[in-house]
Amino acid sequence: MFMYLIAMIAALTGFLFGFDEGIMSGVIELIKKDFSLDTHQTGFMMGLLPFGALLSSIVTGRFCDWVGRLQVLRLVPLLFSFAIVLIIGTTSYSALCAARLLLGISIGMSVVVSPLYIAETTPSEVRGKLVICFQLAITIGILSSYVLNFLHASNDFGLSWRWMFGVGFIPAAILFVGALFLPETPRWLCMKGHKEKAEQVLLHLYKGRVSKYSQSRAEKDVHEIGEAIRQEKRSIWKILVSKKVMPCLSLGVMLFFFQQLSGINVIIYYAPTVFNKLQLGSHLATLLATVGVGTLNVLMTIFSMRWVERMGRRPLLLLGFLGTAASLGVIAFISYFGLDQLSWIAAICVFVYIAFFAMSLGPLPWVMMPEIFPLAVRGQGASFSAASNWLFNTLVVAAFPIMLHSIGIGPTFACYAIFCILGYLFSLRYVPETKHLSLEEIEAHIQSGKPFRTLGVRSKM
């Protein structure tokens, strides 16, 4: 329970990410009206968040190595809250833009530091499960924003759009206070030469919780972490592009490439538009269906916490790609051939798609991101992987209205289905199995020079 609590606190940054992803679709028209924004101003202001997130995620890994994972984790809610205060208080367009940029910076930091922090503090048997708390928090953030958007649209409450953002204060405050009680990660402490402190943290975290965990086991763990660091004397850049580590970096980036190219954020950001195109009914009905999507996203993420340690990362990922490809294919088929009488099946397929995404493509890139890099470059590797998430996210979301207009919804979804099939083939060939392996065992495999993809996978590929 104690380890869950730690992971849940560190994962709260995910809520801030998810909440902001979802809330904008509900309030953008109101913001445009209040600030009298034209299309260019709106586009610029909207683009500042992914831009800030992209930039900050690139540098956060180094920052985490420098000041520690914990200090960065503590900084996130402060920056986020400051941005929210600006949004709530401002009447000027430039301050609004500054706030969006700041939100982006804090969210970009959070997507690197939280999975890293959780992976480095938890034992291997439950690491996958606990890193999924981060994805769970993202989905809860998205769902909360959908509910607020729905209540706002149905005029059931009197919150202005400014105060809808204010809801983000609650998790930010919990995170800030909670993080005051969290320890620094043992891996970072070792990296900085604080071995005794690292042992104390390991004992504090695992004694009585991991079977037979004792002082001598903590000493052994710290020794193993120290060995990994001692062996690596090259600069971060040299290590990252080395023959041994390059496959890890490619994997981190490609997992997010396929996650985003599966079209998830087209559903997350444009769910009402998609349901509308699929002729689901009134505006309120589409918003309600959107809340349904958000709820299923949360529920299936909870299920994935169970499966990730039983099935393993690789089978779960393969299953997810198959399920998302099939459901997207059906939507594409029904829409392309204009089978209006079957539009309810297409709507169901949106839910099937979300279910498969939420149990695999959603959480697994975050789970594997901090697992697949040696300690010396874990921060930077995670940074590049998370930055690619933002890059591909922005490209897919920006391309959607253009694709919708030029080729229509059927072929657009067919493209996402094709990327899911490619994701399946990629995973079959390149994704290793990291289930129940300690971070040091994974690192030893990388350093051994054996092909990375053979890690934890029995059959020869």
Chain mean position to CA 68: 21
Choose among 361, 344, 346, 373: nearest CA to 446. Answer: 373
Q: Where are the beta strands (DSSP E) in 383-439?
A: none
224, two tokens: 């193993």
Own/partner contacts of 257-260, CB < 8 Å, gap of 24 or more, are 257/388, 257/392, 258/321, 258/361, 258/419, 258/420, 258/422, 258/423, 258/426, 258/427, 259/361, 259/362, 259/365, 259/389, 259/392, 260/389, 260/392, 260/393, 260/395, 260/396
Cα distances (Å, whole numbers) of residue 251 to 270, 368, 384, 453, 460:
28, 9, 11, 9, 19
User: Is the Cβ of residue 134 or residue 206 nearer to ligand BGC in the bound state?
Assistant: 134
Task: Report whether 144 contacts 16 (CB < 8 A).
Answer: no
Q: Which residue's C-beta sits nearest to ligand BGC?
A: 362
The reply to whether 252 sits near ligand BGC by the rule CB under 6 A is: no
In the complex, least distance from residue 354 CB atom to ligand BGC, rounded to whole angstroms = 8
Region of 320 on the Ramachandran plot (φ > 0 left; ψ -120 to 50 alpha; else beta): alpha
- Which residues, other chains included, contact 318 with Cβ-Cβ below 8 Å and sequence gap of 6+? 424, 427, 428
User: Is the Cβ of residue 115 or residue 374 nearer to ligand BGC in the bound state?
Assistant: 115
In the complex, least distance from residue 137 CB atom to ligand BGC, rounded to whole angstroms = 10
User: Is the Cβ of residue 139 or residue 144 nearer to ligand BGC in the bound state?
Assistant: 139
Q: Which residues ranging from 260 to 289 are in contact with ligand BGC (CB under 6 A)?
A: 264-265, 268
- Binding mask 125-144 toward ligand BGC (x if CB under 6 A, else -) reads ----------x--xx--x--
**Total number of residues that touch ligand BGC (CB under 6 A):** 13
User: Is the Cβ of residue 142 or residue 387 nearer to ligand BGC in the bound state?
Assistant: 142
The reply to whether 25 sits near ligand BGC by the rule CB under 6 A is: no
User: Is the Cβ of residue 13 or residue 343 nearer to ligand BGC in the bound state?
Assistant: 13
In the complex, least distance from residue 339 CB atom to ligand BGC, rounded to whole angstroms = 28
Choose among 278, 265, 404: nearest CA to 330. Answer: 278
User: Is the Cβ of residue 41 or residue 265 nearer to ligand BGC in the bound state?
Assistant: 265
In the complex, least distance from residue 135 CB atom to ligand BGC, rounded to whole angstroms = 5
- Please give the Cα distance from 95 to 235 (Å, whole number): 39
Alpha helix positions (H), 122-244: 127-153, 161-166, 169-179, 186-191, 195-206, 215-231, 236-240
The reply to whether 335 sits near ligand BGC by the rule CB under 6 A is: no
User: Is the Cβ of residue 80 or residue 188 nearer to ligand BGC in the bound state?
Assistant: 80
In the complex, least distance from residue 210 CB atom to ligand BGC, rounded to whole angstroms = 28
In the complex, least distance from residue 142 CB atom to ligand BGC, rounded to whole angstroms = 6
User: Is the Cβ of residue 176 or residue 353 nearer to ligand BGC in the bound state?
Assistant: 353
Residue with tokens 């900085």: 192
Choose among 17, 65, 15: nearest CA to 178. Answer: 15
Region of 438 on the Ramachandran plot (φ > 0 left; ψ -120 to 50 alpha; else beta): beta
The reply to whether 251 sits near ligand BGC by the rule CB under 6 A is: no
User: Is the Cβ of residue 64 or residue 364 nearer to ligand BGC in the bound state?
Assistant: 364
Residue with tokens 């200090």: 71
Q: Which of 297, 335, 360, 394 binds ligand BGC (CB under 6 A)?
A: 297
Q: Which residues ranging from 356 to 415 are in contact with ligand BGC (CB under 6 A)?
A: 362, 389, 393
In the complex, least distance from residue 342 CB atom to ligand BGC, rounded to whole angstroms = 26
Number of Cβ within a 10 Å radius of residue 157: 10
Task: Report whether 324 contacts 412 (CB < 8 A).
Answer: no
In the complex, least distance from residue 390 CB atom to ligand BGC, rounded to whole angstroms = 9
User: Is the Cβ of residue 296 or residue 330 nearer to ligand BGC in the bound state?
Assistant: 296
In the complex, least distance from residue 317 CB atom to ligand BGC, rounded to whole angstroms = 13
In the complex, least distance from residue 373 CB atom to ligand BGC, rounded to whole angstroms = 18
In the complex, least distance from residue 324 CB atom to ligand BGC, rounded to whole angstroms = 12
Helix (H, G, I), strand (E, B) or coil at 242: coil
User: Is the Cβ of residue 343 or residue 389 nearer to ligand BGC in the bound state?
Assistant: 389
Q: Which residues bind to ligand BGC, rule: CB under 6 A?
A: 21, 135, 138-139, 142, 259, 264-265, 268, 297, 362, 389, 393
